[in-house]
Structure 1
Amino acid sequence: MTLTKDQLGRLSETDVRNPIPPEELLPALTSPPFIPSTSLINVRELGAVPGSAILSGLAYRCGTLELAATDPQALAWLSASVKRIFDIRSPEERERAPDPRIDGVENTWFDSASVDLPPVLDDFVEGGGEVGLRKEYLKVLDIYRRTFSAVLEHIRDRPGEPFLFHCTAGRDRTGVLAGILQSLAGTAPDDVRFDYMLSRIGTEPARERLLRYARVGTGTTADDEHPGFYNMCSLRPSCWNAFVAGVQDMYGGWEGYVTKTLGFSTEDLETIRLHLREGNVSNRLRSWLTAANCTSRSVDKFSSGAIYRQC
C-alpha cells in the first residue's frame, strides 16, 4: 500500500522517543520517495518527493552507506542508479566506516573546513530546540562547504548524471544539502520542509542505535539525560524554519550562500537551477533550437519551459 503525502506527514511527526509501529513503518518505507533497502537507511529520491521541482532520477540520498559493502542488492541498485557518490562526513567517520568501491561509480570526499565539534546540549533546552538546530545547521553550511560546492559543480558540469550524497545517518548534514538543492530548484518551502521531516521515518530502523550514538557523542546517558537531548534528536518543522531564517539572516537566502560563500556566479546559479529541473534535456533542446536558427532569447526561454513562436 502506497501512503499519501498526508499519511507520511502525520507519521513524520512521531516523537523520537516512541517507535513507529512496524505495520505503519513498512508501507511508509515502500512509498515514494523512499527506496526500500535492507542495509541502507533513509534512502530517498529527491525528485520523487511530493511537490519536488527536481528532475526524477537525478539525485538520491541515504545513510549507513558503508553497509552496502556486504549487501549485493544495495550494490546492484547503486551501480544501476548513480554515477557519483558524495560523502559528507568527517575524516574520523570515513575511517571507521569507509564507503564501498563500486565499478563505474566515482567516490568524492573533501576534508571538512574545520573540526565538526559535538553539539552543545544547553543550546537545545529552550522550546523545541530551534536555537540549537539553527546553530548546528548553519555550522554544517560552513564546515562542509567544499563538498557542497562539488555537488553543485557536478550538477552544473554534468547535466543529467545521477548522483547520491550521504552522511552517517542521512539526516542532518544530508538534510541540509537536500534543502539547498530543493530550494535552488524552486520547490515550494512547505515541500522542502516536508522532505526534511521525512527523515524521522527514514531513520526509524536505526532509531535506537542512533540514540545510543547521540548519547555517546554528547556524553549523556539514558539514566541521566540532559534536558536538551531529545530536542537535539528530534525533527520539527519549527527547527527547519529557524534554520531557513538563519540562512536568510546570514547569507541573504540560499542564493546568497551559493554565490557569496561558495563562489558561484549568477550564470552558474541559473545553469544549476536549470539542470536540477531538466537535466540534459535543456541542452538537447538548446542544440535543436539553435540549429533551427532560433534567437538566443527564445532558446533560453524555451529551455526554461515556455513555448515561444520565434522559430
Structure 2
Amino acid sequence: MVKTYCMCKEFWGKLFTSGKSPEPASQIAMEPQYNIPKLVATDIRTQIPNDIVDNVMSRPPFVAIPGVVNARDISEHASGSSQSPVRPGFAYRSGALEKVSPEGRVFLIRQLGISVIFDLRHQGERMQSPSPDIEGVQTVWAPYTCTPVPVDPRDFAHGDEGASGYAKMYLEIMKVSAPIFQKVFEHIRDAPREPFLFHCSAGKDRSGVLAALILCLAGSPREAIIHDYTLTRIGMEAHRPSLTKILQFHTGSGAGPESIGMLQLCNVRANAMVGFLPAIENSFEGGVEGYLRSHLGFNQRDLDIMRANLKVPTFN
C-alpha cells in the first residue's frame, strides 16, 4: 500500500516565511504569514494541518461559502496583488455546490452578488449530485461535444511530474467543454455587471482549465495563472482523505507507470499548468485567442470587449 506520510513538526515550520511555528492568536498582533509556494507543493499524501488550512482559506482570494470547497476569486487583486489585470469580485471558481448550506446560498447572493453559476460537469455527475436550486441565481449547463477520451494514468508517468499527461488531458477538456466554455465567455462579454461562479466537481481540472483561459485572455502573467491553479492544493484539502483512499486502492504496493501516474493525477502540481500553457500555444494558432475564435466562434471585437470587461466593465 502507498505510505501515507505524517510530516514532522520541523517540516511544517519551514512552511512559514519566518521559519517558526505560529504563536497562539492571543500572543500575536498579526496573523501568521505562510510560504504559500511551499504550502501548495505539499504532496497529496501529506496532511496540511487544519489550523493552517483554515487560516489561509479565511483570507483572499479564498471565499468561505458554507458547504462549498475550494471557492475563490480568480483575481489576484483579491489577495492584494497589484499585478493582476483581472478586477476582483467578478469571476469565482469552486468545487461542486450540491452540499451548499442555506447560509452558503445567502452568502453567494448577498456577499458575492452571484447571479449566474456555470456547471462544468458532465450529465452523469449532475444526475448523481444535482445542482442546487438557488432562488435568484441561474444555473447554466451545456452537454459535452463528445465522450472524453479516457484518462490513462500512464500518461502522467513520464518523469515530468505529469506535465505531458496534464497537457493532453486539459486540451481534451478544451474540446469537450467548448459549449459551456462558450457560454461563460458570452457572459463575460455581455454581462460585466453580473458576477458569476463556475465549478466542476473538485474545482481542480475543468475549473483550472477555464480559469487559465480567462486569465490568459485578460493578460495575466504566467506566474499568476500557475499560482491560481496551485491554490487548489489548499482548497481541496477537505477531499484529501478520499483522494488518498482512491490512490491507495489503485496503486497498491506497485511502483509501475500506472501507480506513478495515479499519484501525479491526484496531486496538484505547478508542472501541470507549466505543461498546459505552451500546449495551448502549440495547438491553436494564436493561442487562447485562436481557440476562442476557431472553436468558440468569437471574433476580434468580442475578444476586445471581453478583455475590457475583465478589467474595467464597459456599460452601454
Answer yes or no: same fold by TM over 0.5: yes
Instruction: Give the alignment of 1:26-175 within 5 angstroms.
Output: 26-47=54-75, 48-49=78-79, 50=81, 51-68=83-100, 71-80=101-110, 81=112, 82-127=114-159, 128-175=161-208
> Per-residue deviation at 1:108?
0.3
Instruction: Give the alignment of 1:154-233 within 5 angstroms.
Output: 154-212=187-245, 220-222=250-252, 226-233=259-266
1:274 maps to what in 2? 308
Mapped to 2, the partners of 1:117 and 1:101 lie a distance apart of: 31
Quick check: 1:79–1:103 contact (8 Å CA) kept in 2?
Answer: no
Mapped to 2, the partners of 1:100 and 1:241 lie a distance apart of: 34
SS of 1:182's partner is helix
Q: Deviations over 1:271-291 (max 9, x none)?
A: 000001112xx336xxxxxxx
Mapped to 2, the partners of 1:223 and 1:118 lie a distance apart of: 24
SS of 2:185's partner is helix
Quick check: 1:112–1:143 contact (8 Å CA) kept in 2?
Answer: yes
Quick check: 2:149–2:172 contact (8 Å CA) kept in 1?
Answer: no
> Per-residue deviation at 1:39?
1.7
> Per-residue deviation at 1:238?
2.0
Q: Give the residue type in structure 1 aligned to 2:306.
A: I
Quick check: 2:44–2:244 contact (8 Å CA) kept in 1?
Answer: no
SS of 1:42's partner is coil
Distance of aligned partners of 1:213 and 1:108 in 2 relative to their CA distance in 1, 3 Å threshold: farther
1:13 maps to what in 2? 41
Distance of aligned partners of 1:210 and 1:264 in 2 relative to their CA distance in 1, 3 Å threshold: same
Residue identity over aligned pairs, in percent, reads 35
Quick check: 1:125–1:231 contact (8 Å CA) kept in 2?
Answer: yes
> Per-residue deviation at 1:35?
0.9
Distance of aligned partners of 1:173 and 1:211 in 2 relative to their CA distance in 1, 3 Å threshold: farther
| Count of aligned positions | 276
> Per-residue deviation at 1:211?
4.1
Q: Give the residue type in structure 1 aligned to 2:130.
A: P
> Per-residue deviation at 1:37?
3.7
SS of 2:70's partner is strand
Q: Deviations over 1:156-175 (max 9, x none)?
A: 11122110000000111001
Q: Deviations over 1:168-227 (max 9, x none)?
A: 0011100110111111112111111110110011001111223445778xxx25455722
Could you state the TM-score of these two structures normalised by the residue count of structure 1?
A: 0.84
Q: Deviations over 1:48-97 (max 9, x none)?
A: 254432121111111021111xx111111122220000000010000000
2:296 maps to what in 1? 262
Quick check: 2:226–2:270 contact (8 Å CA) kept in 1?
Answer: yes
Mapped to 2, the partners of 1:102 and 1:265 lie a distance apart of: 33
Mapped to 2, the partners of 1:67 and 1:213 lie a distance apart of: 21
SS of 2:35's partner is helix
Q: Give the residue type in structure 2 aligned to 1:74.
A: G
The structure in which a higher percent of residues are helix is 1
Mapped to 2, the partners of 1:196 and 1:140 lie a distance apart of: 15
* Greater alpha carbon shift after TM alignment, 203-212 vs 133-142: 203-212
SS of 1:100's partner is coil
Quick check: 2:68–2:99 contact (8 Å CA) kept in 1?
Answer: yes
> Per-residue deviation at 1:13?
0.9
Which structure 2 segments of 5+ residues have no match?
A: 1-29
Q: Give the residue type in structure 2 aligned to 1:277.
A: K
2:11 maps to what in 1? none
1:296 maps to what in 2? none
Quick check: 1:2–1:31 contact (8 Å CA) kept in 2?
Answer: no
Mapped to 2, the partners of 1:210 and 1:160 lie a distance apart of: 37
Q: CA RMSD, aligned part only?
A: 1.9
Distance of aligned partners of 1:55 and 1:117 in 2 relative to their CA distance in 1, 3 Å threshold: same
SS of 2:174's partner is helix
Mapped to 2, the partners of 1:3 and 1:192 lie a distance apart of: 25
SS of 2:166's partner is helix
2:278 maps to what in 1? 245
Q: Give the residue type in structure 2 aligned to 1:23.
A: D
> Per-residue deviation at 1:103?
1.0
SS of 1:86's partner is strand
Mapped to 2, the partners of 1:96 and 1:75 lie a distance apart of: 20
SS of 2:98's partner is helix
Quick check: 1:79–1:102 contact (8 Å CA) kept in 2?
Answer: no
SS of 2:118's partner is strand
